[in-house]
């Protein structure tokens, strides 16, 4: 069975690109368009990895990461923030919220899958 990745992202172009790259490399992908849906799907689907945007509707990615790390049934699932937040201190803020890794947007299609495999 292909490793399942939960993609919590609201931008259609980003979803399309990441889904394409992941599926091309043997991953199964499930999508959530906001933080609440992402938390619900994480608990229901138990993915191997969560890719998390920070700028989300209804609940930002910081709050999502904190909620996931507090939940006993999903706290050990690696979370990689994939975000356009690239100012000084943004990486640290994402990691403090509970993310295990940080990737800047726009993603590099040539290295994206190899980079996220390091978190599995």
Whole-structure pTM value:
0.95
Contact 31, 50 (CB under 8 A): no
Residue 51, both tokens: 């890719």
Predicted confidence (pLDDT) per residue in 29-57, tens digit:
999 999 999 999 999 999 999 999 999 99
Of 70, 61, 59, 63, the residue nearest 102 (C-alpha)? 61
Q: Cα separation of 92 and 88, whole Å?
A: 9
How many domains does one find in the chain? 1
Average pLDDT, the chain: 94
pLDDT confidence band for 86 (50 / 70 / 90): low
Of 77, 80, 15, 78, the residue nearest 46 (C-alpha)? 77
Residue 65 class from Cβ within 10 Å (0-12 exposed, 13-18 middle, 19+ buried)? buried
Q: Which range of residues forms the domain containing residue 102? A: 4-117
Report, as an integer, the average pLDDT of 9-22.
97
Which CATH number belongs to the domain containing residue 72 in this structure? 3.40.50.2300
Q: What is the pLDDT of residue 89?
A: 76
């Amino acid at each position: 069975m292909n490793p399942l990745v939960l993609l919590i992202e609201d931008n259609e172009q980003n979803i399309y690109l990441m889904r394409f790259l992941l599926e091309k490399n043997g991953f199964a992908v499930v999508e959530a368009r906001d933080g609440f849906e992402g938390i619900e799907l994480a608990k229901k689907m138990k993915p191997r990895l969560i890719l998390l945007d920070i700028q989300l509707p209804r609940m930002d990615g910081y709050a999502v990461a904190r909620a996931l790390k507090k939940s006993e049934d999903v706290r050990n699932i690696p979370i990689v923030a994939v975000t356009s937040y690239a100012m000084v201190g943004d990486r640290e803020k994402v990691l403090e919220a509970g993310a295990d890794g940080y990737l800047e947007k726009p993603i590099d299609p040539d290295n994206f899958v190899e980079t996220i495999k390091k978190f599995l």
